[in-house]
Every structure is written in C-alpha cells, then in structure tokens.
Amino acid sequence: MATIDDSISEIRSVRNEIWRYRRLLQTELAEAEREIVEKRLRERLSTFEGLLASAFPLAMKL
C-alpha cells in the first residue's frame, strides 16, 4: 500500500506532465504532433483525477 507521501509525489509528477503538455500546445506543432500531445494530455488528466480520488476519497465535488 502506498503512503500518502508516495501518492502526493505521484500526483505532483502527473501535474507537472499536464503543465508540460499544456505549454507544448501553446507552441507551433504539426497537426500529427498536436494530436499526440492532446491525446497524452487527456490521458494524464484522467490519471490525475483518478489519483486525486484515490488519495483523497472523502473530497466532495461541488
């Protein structure tokens, strides 16, 4: 079982990847590259949401 420190570390890592993909999308990319980055961003956002839900299961959505 992962400790809360491990979970937070993984959340930070995924968050940093999300920021990196968002910065990449602000640059000039070929259409194929843009599609790949957008796909990866969606995947990482989904992962991020899952990590948050598992690390903080009692958080309420408004």
> How distant, in Å, are the alpha carbons of 5, 8, 14, 46 from that of 1?
11, 14, 19, 21
Rounded Cα gap, residues 12 and 16, in angstroms? 6
**How confident is the model over 11-22, as pLDDT tens digits?**
999 999 999 999
Res 60 pLDDT > 60: no
Instruction: Check residue 30 and give its pLDDT.
Output: 98
**Global pTM?**
0.84
pLDDT digits (tens, 9 = 90+) for 19-36: 999 999 999 999 999 999
Tell me the residue type at 16.
Answer: N
40 Cβ contact partners less than 8 Å away, ≥ 6 residues apart: 21
